[in-house]
Amino acid sequence: MNMDNTTMFHLPLDRGDEIRAALSTVCAALREKGYDPIGQIVGYIMSGDPSYITSHNGARTIMSKIDRDELLEVVFSDYLSDK
């Protein structure tokens, strides 16, 4: 592997609005159950273990339909667009 070149990584953001809406729903469900949404979602992203997401209001099912790479791209895109 040549360490002089940068590998390009790109996911289409055509699902951005859908992912944002799903994330809002999941965050609301986590808060309703008394969890810190940030910690739980980070745990899920890092491990891939769906048990970090409550099943309350279908949040676990909703989150399992989102590819973690797409989720990260939307989150970083939104964060960096504000900078």
Name every residue whose Cβ is closer than 8 Å to that of residue 48 and which is 6 or more positions away in sequence.
68
pLDDT, residue 2, reads 64
Contact 23, 71 (CB under 8 A): yes
Which sequence spans correspond to the domains of the chain? 16-81
pLDDT, residue 14, reads 76
User: Cβ–Cβ contacts within 10 Å for residue 72, how many?
Assistant: 12
Local confidence pLDDT in tens for the 83 residues of the chain: 567 788 776 666 578 899 999 999 999 999 999 999 999 999 999 999 999 999 999 999 999 999 998 899 899 988 998 76
pLDDT, residue 16, reads 87
pLDDT, residue 41, reads 96
Number of helical H runs and strand E runs in the chain: 4, 0
Q: How far apart are CA 17 and CA 51, in angstroms?
A: 25
pLDDT, residue 59, reads 98
